[in-house]
Every structure is written in structure tokens, then in C-alpha cells.
Amino acid sequence: MNLNKNSERKFDIIAIGRACIDLNAVEYNRPMEETMTFSKYVGGSPANIAIGTSKLGLKAGFIGKIPDDQHGRFIQSYMAGVGVDTTGMVLDTEGRKAGLAFTEIKSPEDCSILMYRDNVADLYLAPSEVDEDYIRQARVLLVSGTALSKSPSREAVLHAIHLAKKNDCLVVFELDYRPYTWVSEEETAIYYTLVAEQADIVIGTRDEYDMMEGKEGGTNEATTHHLFENQAKLVVIKHGVEGSFAYTREGATFKAGVYKTNVLKTFGAGDSYASAFLYALFNDKGIETALKYGSASASIVISKHSSSDAMPTAAEIETLLEEQK
């Protein structure tokens, strides 16, 4: 899978969707009712992926709507500080706020998130606020599923995909299913299918593909058959502790296991996986190695307190791969 055409373009990857605030429990092994202190980080799947790819050395940009307040300034300043281009960010002028995610870390197996997602700025990105000239400068547009859950963000993403296709920019769809942002499972299936059928690369868990297909217990064979009948060239399906699989349109299959780590919490794994997987593809390391990079990156992030701040460097990933050959 060659991500390196159009190498003269300014950005390797531009992500579109939500950037919000994560407030992660500082006190572990206790319920949120008893947690008194939280640490603040930038959160949101596409923001995390932009941050993760930038920290790995890719040239990353971001399109999204942020509030015109202290949280919005924190998001913009943090992302710019780790090298993400923020000129595609739009300020909300209607007084909407950033989404908030409070995390509870009772144990490595028992983590939960309390979300505040009503009327949040990122879901009000309008199609007119997506700049074609900006997308034209990217080799890859990364779309995250949560941005499809409400209008006008939904239409803004569909418009961005149209502009990407028009300008020979590959589309990567990270399924990122969050049930609390959707009206119904049927609606999720409709819009996920609509976008997945236009994407060049699709990445998600087996459960997320089942949600897209509107059935439990779907098979990788059926999923890939459907997507390869459309635009997809590469499909990645993650099976938790069983590892992850990648399938190519040409019929090749690749697999990688998971890497041992001291698990602190479970969130952030998918975003770090996608970041490192794409980084490896951009660096022509091959699909099997890209799966290993993704798995290693995920294992590093779930051992640390944050998601965005914990995104590893290439050297950290390579050290882990070397240690656990």
C-alpha cells in the first residue's frame, strides 16, 4: 500500500473531526465518586491521531471546530506545540464548548469514561468551513467515525471526502465508534457504510465492523469482500488480545500479535495504533511491520496516564519491538 505518491505535498496526513478535553483521574484504583484530582490533556480520536503521527515525525494537519475560550486555546496551543498544523481549525462563534471526557481508572480491566458531548463545538463544523486548498496539500485525509454522528459535522466530513477524492488524496477511515454520540445503531450503520465504501483504508475493531454491518458475529471474510467491492485497498480488523489482521485487495493477509505491557488503562489504544500503523506505511516498512508498530504503540499508551501526551516516538516503538521479538 503506497502512501507516498504526491510526495511534494505539504502534509502527509490531515485529520478531521473532534478535538476535546480529557480529564484523566490522577488517583487510580478508585471510583470517580472518590476521585478528587484529574489531569488535563487534549483528547478526541482524530486529534490524538494527528498528535501521534506528528510525534512520530510525519507532517500532520488538523481540521476541526474548537471553542473560542480557554479550552479552545489550550487545544490549539498544545497541538501546535507538538508540531500539528492548526490552520484548518475553525473557532466557534456561537458560545459552544469543548467536549469533556472524565476518565475513571478503577483497575486495568475496569476503566470508564463519563462524557459531556451535548451541543459541543466539534459537531458544528460546517461544510463551508472545510477548505479545499488545505486538503489539496495532503497525501492522506483521516476521517473518524464520531464526526458522522450529527449534522453539520456529518456533512462537513462527507464534503471533505469528496474534496479528497477530487484532489487525489487517499482517505483513511478510523471507525472510532462511540455509542453515546449516536441516535441509533441503524443510523450508525448507514453513515459508517457510506464512508467505508469511499475509503481507501479502513481501520477498526471487529465489534466496530459488526456495528457498521448491523449484525453481531460478522466475519472478516464478509467484511473485506464487501469493502473490496468498493474503494478499499487495505482493511485492518483488530481482535483485541488475539491481535490484528490486515487484508489487501490483491488477496494478501497479514497478522500481528499484541505486546506485553503493564496495563494502566484501556483508552487511547486505538488512536495510538492508527498513528503508528500509518507512520510505518508512510515509511515503506510493509503491512506486517505496520501492524506490529500499531500493536506496540497501543501497548505503550495503555501503560501510561494520558492518550495524547503518551503517544510514543518511533525510537520507543522500535525499542519495544526489539525487546519482545
Identify whether the C-beta of residue 130 lies closer than 8 Å to the C-beta of residue 160. Answer: yes
Q: What is the pLDDT of residue 5?
A: 87
Identify whether the C-beta of residue 29 lies closer than 8 Å to the C-beta of residue 109. Answer: no
For residue 132, pLDDT over 80 is answered with yes
**Element spanning 143, H or E:** strand 138-144
Q: What is the pLDDT of residue 131?
A: 98
Please report the domains of the chain, with CATH numbers, ordered by start residue. Answer: 11-19+45-97+118-323 (3.40.1190.20)
Question: Comparing 122 with 308, which gets the higher pLDDT?
Answer: 122
For residue 69, pLDDT over 90 is answered with yes
Report, as an integer, the average pLDDT of 134-146.
98
For residue 266, pLDDT over 90 is answered with no
Report, as an integer, the average pLDDT of 42-49.
97
For residue 1, pLDDT over 90 is answered with no
Cell numbers placing 251: 488477496
Q: What is the pLDDT of residue 68?
A: 98
CA 172 to chain centre: 10
Q: What is the pLDDT of residue 245?
A: 98
Residue range 308-319, pLDDT digits in tens = 998 999 999 999
Q: What is the pLDDT of residue 72?
A: 98
Q: What is the pLDDT of residue 18?
A: 97
Q: How deeply is 40 buried, as exposed, middle or buried, from its count of CB atoms within 10 A (0-12, 13-18, 19+)?
A: middle
Q: What is the pLDDT of residue 263?
A: 82
Say which amino acid occupies 21: I
For residue 272, pLDDT over 80 is answered with yes
For residue 305, pLDDT over 80 is answered with no
The rounded mean pLDDT for the chain is 95
> Rounded to 5 degrees, what are φ and ψ at 42?
-75, 140
Report, as an integer, the average pLDDT of 207-215.
96
Cell numbers placing 8: 511534494
Binning pLDDT at 50, 70 and 90, where does residue 325 land?
Answer: confident
* The overall pTM is greater than 0.95: yes
Report, as an integer, the average pLDDT of 185-201.
98
> Rounded to 5 degrees, what are φ and ψ at 195?
-80, -40
Question: Comparing 232 with 110, which gets the higher pLDDT?
Answer: 232
- Sheet of 60-67: strand order equals 85-92, 60-67, 11-16, 138-144, 170-174, 201-205, 234-238, 244-248, 253-256
Q: What is the pLDDT of residue 213?
A: 97
Report, as an integer, the average pLDDT of 148-158.
98
Report, as an integer, the average pLDDT of 151-160.
98
Residue range 238-265, pLDDT digits in tens = 999 999 999 999 999 999 999 988 888 8
Binning pLDDT at 50, 70 and 90, where does residue 104 land?
Answer: confident
Report, as an integer, the average pLDDT of 182-196.
97
